[in-house]
């Protein structure tokens, strides 16, 4: 697996002992860690295409963890953030949570608690990337449709049968069915049910009671 494909726990903390300790902990469960001594150092290396999560110390010189999180948000980076706080930094941690952090832990934190948070954050990152990739694929497929195919797709999403679509669009049922087959081919799916699933649970739900099953 390439570096780009490996889910990584990016650790940003100005305390070398903390960085080394987290890196060893992460490695002990077969995960990959990458450590940075400051927010600017991390930003210089940051690549939004790399899957992973950020384990971030909230209080650091020069650029604080909260400021780093705000800069990442401004860049539109979707990286999941776990905030580490020292005693007395809880208000800052709460602010980080409001800015989208998935968890905050007080130092020294239990190793299992940190690992649980890292596993959860990596799972969230994976789901978000799969969802984003699916959306990009669907957008490309929709862009390749003809005007008539888009009309047929809209009716399929509403749970309409080929006969109902034909009547609404004033075309022959065979023509409506041909457009439906073209849609399946362009989205590279085997059935209308698969098409609705690809377009999302809400789309699938609109075809209630299988009114859009093939051949109807």
- For the chain, the structural domain boundaries read 8-130, 144-210
Domains 8-130 and 144-210 agree in fold: no
pTM: 0.64
Q: What is the pLDDT of residues 48-74, one digit of tens each?
A: 889 999 999 988 888 988 899 989 888
Q: What is the pLDDT of residues 185-196, one digit of tens each?
A: 988 888 888 788
C-alpha 83/C-alpha 115 separation (Å) is 13
Residues sharing a CB contact under 8 Å with residue 30, sequence separation 6 or more, in sequence order = none
C-alpha 69/C-alpha 97 separation (Å) is 10
Residues sharing a CB contact under 8 Å with residue 44, sequence separation 6 or more, in sequence order = none
Tell me the CATH number for domain 8-130: 3.40.50.2300
pLDDT at 213: 41
**CATH architecture of structural domain 144-210:** Orthogonal Bundle (1.10)
Residue range 153-157: average pLDDT? Answer: 89
pLDDT band for 199, please (50, 70, 90 cuts): confident
Q: Report yes or no: 85 and 59 within 8 Å, Cβ to Cβ.
A: yes
Greatest CA span in the chain, whole angstroms?
A: 73
Q: Report yes or no: 34 and 79 within 8 Å, Cβ to Cβ.
A: no
| The two structure tokens encoding residue 38 | 């400051």
Residue range 161-184: average pLDDT? Answer: 91
């Amino acid at each position: 697996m390439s570096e780009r494909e490996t889910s990584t726990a990016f650790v940003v903390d100005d305390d070398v002992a903390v960085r080394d300790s987290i890196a060893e902990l992460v490695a002990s469960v077969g995960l990959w860690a990458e450590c940075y001594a400051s927010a600017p150092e991390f930003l210089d290396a940051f690549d939004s295409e790399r899957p992973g999560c950020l384990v971030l110390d909230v209080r650091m010189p020069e650029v604080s963890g909260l400021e780093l999180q705000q800069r990442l948000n401004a860049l539109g980076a979707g990286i999941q953030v776990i905030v580490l706080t020292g005693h007395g930094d809880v208000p800052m941690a709460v602010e980080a949570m409001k800015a989208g952090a998935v968890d905050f832990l007080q130092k020294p934190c239990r190793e299992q608690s940190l690992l649980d948070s890292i596993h959860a954050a990596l799972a969230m990152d994976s789901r978000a990337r799969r969802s984003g990739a699916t959306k990009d694929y669907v957008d490309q497929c929709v862009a390749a449709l003809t005007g008539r195919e888009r009309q047929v797709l809209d009716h399929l999403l509403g749970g309409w049968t080929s006969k109902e679509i034909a009547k609404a669009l004033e075309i022959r049922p065979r023509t409506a069915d041909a457009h439906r087959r073209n849609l399946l081919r362009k989205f590279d799916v085997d059935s209308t049910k698969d098409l609705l699933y690809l377009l999302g649970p809400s789309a699938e739900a609109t075809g209630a009671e299988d009114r859009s099953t093939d051949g109807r």
